[in-house]
């Protein structure tokens, strides 16, 4: 049980960003799945609850903040650590994300190696969030 791969759901409307994050996180031995927006993510959560979610904010249909709020309304998803990964450099959006329950907020301009290092740390810190 201790060496089970951690699962991460990457939610981003940009196919290239989903691919980049998926490949990068898979190299770190995560089991990665993707969704193109918040609604797609909620559908995928019906089949499988990940250990961790990384989501953009700006997405069509259901944006990242709406997704985060929807997750917190469901007992089975309310404790999933949620990280915002966005191009937005907006203090109000950062504050709204943190107040809604995001564990961290990163800009897409963050170097990928630094981002992955911080994700590894957050995943490790939040290992016991689920049963």
For the segment 92-107, what is each residue's pLDDT rounded down to a tens digit?
A: 888 999 999 999 999 9
pLDDT at 1 > cutoff 60: no
Higher pLDDT, 129 or 77: 77
Q: What is the pLDDT of residue 2?
A: 53
Tokens 């759901």 found at? 9
For the segment 20-75, what is each residue's pLDDT rounded down to a tens digit?
A: 999 999 999 999 999 999 999 999 999 999 999 999 999 988 999 999 999 999 99
Per-residue confidence band for 131, with pLDDT thresholds at 50, 70 and 90 = very low
How far, in Å, are 10, 62, 94 from residue 25 at the CA level? 10, 24, 23
pLDDT at 129 > cutoff 70: no
* pTM (2 d.p.): 0.92
Higher pLDDT, 88 or 130: 88
Per-residue confidence band for 8, with pLDDT thresholds at 50, 70 and 90 = very high
Asked if 9 and 20 touch (Cβ cutoff 8 Å), the reply is no
CA–CA distance, 21 with 34 (Å, rounded to integer): 9
Higher pLDDT, 4 or 59: 59
7-125 under CATH 3.40.50.2300, yes or no: yes
Q: What is the pLDDT of residue 3?
A: 62
């Amino acid at each position: 049980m201790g060496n089970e791969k951690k699962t991460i759901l990457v939610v981003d409307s940009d196919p290239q960003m989903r691919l980049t994050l998926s490949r990068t996180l898979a190299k770190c031995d995560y089991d990665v799945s993707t969704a193109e927006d918040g609604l797609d993510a909620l559908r995928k959560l019906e089949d499988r609850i990940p250990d961790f979610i990384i989501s953009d904010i700006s997405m069509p249909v259901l944006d990242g903040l709406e997704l985060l709020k929807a997750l917190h309304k469901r007992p089975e998803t309310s404790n999933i650590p949620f990280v915002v990964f966005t191009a937005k450099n907006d203090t109000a959006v950062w504050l709204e994300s943190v107040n809604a329950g995001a564990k961290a907020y990163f800009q897409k301009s963050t170097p990928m190696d630094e981002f992955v290092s911080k994700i590894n740390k957050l995943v490790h810190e939040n290992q016991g969030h689920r049963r």
